[in-house]
Structures are given as C-alpha cells and as structure tokens.
Structure 1
Amino acid sequence: MNPEESMRTKRSASTRDDAIDTYTKVASIAVAIGGWAVGMYAGFNVLVPLVATAVVWLAGRHLFSEPKQIMLPAFCVQAGHLVWFVVVAAASRELMNPHLIDIVWLSIGLAWLWLRPGKSALYVLMVYQLLALPYNLLQFSQADFGTTANKVLLVHVIWRCIALFYMARMFYRLGKPVQSN
C-alpha cells in the first residue's frame, strides 16, 4: 500500500469513528433527557429499581467471574426489578401478593442465569418478560395519566424493555465466536 492510500484509509477510519462518537453522544443526551423525564413523572417509583439495579451492578463487577461478566447487564436489570417486587410485597404485608409469580419466576430465572449462564436461562427469562410486558402495557393504557398505578406501570414497562434489550444483546454475544488475542 502506498502512502497516499494509507492516508485515505486512516482518514476514512477517523471519519467513521467521529460519526460513531457523534451518534453515541446524541443518543446519550436523548437517553439522559428521557431518563430525567421519566424520573420527574414517576418520582419515587423509579428509585427502588434504579438503586437496586446499580447496587447489583457494583456488586456483580466484583463477584462475577470474567466469563460471567457477559450476563451482568441482563442480570442486574432483572435483579433490580426483583428487589422492587420484594420491597412492594414486604411493604404490603400480604402473604399471597399478586407479585408472587413475578418473584418466583424471576428468582428461578436469575438463579439459573447466575449458576449456568446460557441460552436456556435466557429463554426462561425472555418468556417471562415477553408474557408480562403486554399485560403491563394493557394495564398502563387503561390507567389514568398521573395516577400512581400509571407511574408504577410505566416503570415496569421500561424495566422489562431494558431487560429484553440486554438479554437480546447477551443472546447475540453468546452466539459469536470467541476471539483470541
């Protein structure tokens, strides 16, 4: 390759990197504004799953071995959601809480994902999220704007969508061949 071709290649790579950086910055700003808007609307309802997700993330960075780091985002989002269900169940002091199925299914799925990260555990958790999401969307659409139920359901829908995104990402990464350096 002659020096002129080398410079063209470097420039085109640099231009691509600048474009990716610009898109990343724009997306980051859009997500920050969206997060702020959801936080302003949902208020305290978003605090428990958000803090729980962050705490699980910080603990998971140290507790999960290197091969298990691939599942950390999918695990953390759903563990934060699980903590929220448990807090609501404990606060209501009802033995047969409607969230019991969520608590049991998420607990089994997350334990499976922790012990044997792989596609089987992802299928169990994806089925759960894909069954619960339309139900939450239906309830959300029927709840009056500004009510506590509407705010809580918005957070449920967001957490389920984030969980599905990270599980799809993990599923994709599990299918890619491992690159050795």
Structure 2
Amino acid sequence: MNPEESIRTKQPASSSNDAIGTSTKVAGLVAALGGWAVGIYAGFNLLVPLVATALVWLTGRKLFGKAKQLVLPAFCVQAGHLVWFLVGMAMSRPLPGSNLVDIVLLSFGLTWLWMRPGKIALCLLTVYQLLSLPYNLLQFSHAEFGGTENKVLLVHCIWRCLALFYMVRMYYRIGKPVQGQQANHP
C-alpha cells in the first residue's frame, strides 16, 4: 500500500472526540497550574503528604493484587494524610490533643478499609472527612493569609477533598460488575 492510500483510509477525528481531548487538556493544564500555585504557597507543608501518598500508592501497586487496587486511591490519599499527622506531631511534640483523635480515627478507618474493603468502612471514613472538612475550612478562613497555620490548613482541606473524591468514586465502583463478569451473564 502506498502512502496516499494509507492516508485516505484513516478515519477523520470527530468533533466530539476533539472537544473531549481539548477539554481534557485544558483541565490538565488548569490542574497543573493550580497544583503549582498551591505548591508555591504551601511549600514544605505540601511535600510530606504528597510524598507519603505517592510512596503508599507505589508500594500498593507493587505489593498488592488486583483485588485491592480498587481500594488503593482512597487508601493512599488518607494514608498520606495520616503520615503527615504523625510527622507533624513528632516535629512539634504537642500534648496529645485534636491530632490524636485524627490519628486514631484515620488509623482505625484505614485498617478496616484495607482488611475488609466495603461500603461500611467507606461510610465511616466519609463521615469522618465530612465532619473534619468544615472545621478545617472554618479555621482556614480565620487564619492569617500567608501564615503557617493558613498553609497547613489549606493542605488539610485539599487532602480531605481528595479523600472524599476517591471514596465516592470507590463507593460507586464497588457496586458495578467487573467487565469480564458482565459478559458471562445473559
């Protein structure tokens, strides 16, 4: 086949596929710029949960089978947040207080989610995040812009939103049949 024939046989891209591709590129660019801006603003406060989340995700992708891969995004975001609580507590050495409650609840919820992935564990963690997010947002709104507390609370709010997103995503995916199983049933 000559080059002219191969060009004529290719399908032209439809406008809907172009629109999806363009909107995905624009969303990716906006997310990258937003992530860069948050990184510049929050600095080191963003580094610990980001690296912890990435390490948990990479470890989980390598060590655990396909059955646990559905749990991994929701698990790793919250595990990264838990590591950040632990590092923050170790660095500041405060008396056990509200961070201890977060550490205990996250540890319990994540253990339950990992050992017995299901909607009940997701609901527990979702309620925890939904109760914590407004409190963090309120504190964030009262903190001085540019101050350490404001930066820390911004990262808390982002990680809580990420956790909620991945838990809702997992919640809806739990009920859906796997593609291979769907083909076997009439």
TM-score by length of 1: 0.89
The letter for the 1-side match of 2:90 is: A
Instruction: Indicate the larger mover: 91-100 or 114-123.
Output: 91-100
1:95 to partner: Cα distance: 4.7
Question: Gapped runs of 5+ residues in structure 2?
Answer: 1-10
Taking the aligned partners of 2:60 and 2:23, their CA distance within structure 1 comes to 29
Q: Which one has a bigger Cα radius of gyration?
A: 2
Aligned-partner SS, 1:99: helix
Match of 1:74 in 2: 74
Give the 3 Å change call, closer, same or farther, for CA 104–143 of structure 1 in structure 2.
same
Instruction: Indicate the larger mover: 111-120 or 89-98.
Output: 89-98
Write the deviation string for residues 102-157 of structure 1: whole angstroms up to 9, x where unpaired.
00000011111111111111011101000000000000011111110000000000
Counting matched residue pairs gives 171
Taking the aligned partners of 1:129 and 1:174, their CA distance within structure 2 comes to 20
Taking the aligned partners of 1:156 and 1:141, their CA distance within structure 2 comes to 13
Match of 1:42 in 2: 42
* Root mean square deviation of aligned Cα: 1.5
The letter for the 2-side match of 1:101 is: V
Are residues 1:167 and 2:170 paired?
Answer: no
Write the deviation string for residues 44-86 of structure 1: whole angstroms up to 9, x where unpaired.
1100000000000100101221011011111110000000000
The letter for the 1-side match of 2:89 is: A
Identity %: 69
TM-score by length of 2: 0.87
Correspondences of 1:14-163 after superposition (within 5 Å): 14-163=14-163
Taking the aligned partners of 2:15 and 2:66, their CA distance within structure 1 comes to 33
Taking the aligned partners of 1:116 and 1:11, their CA distance within structure 2 comes to 48
The letter for the 2-side match of 1:90 is: A
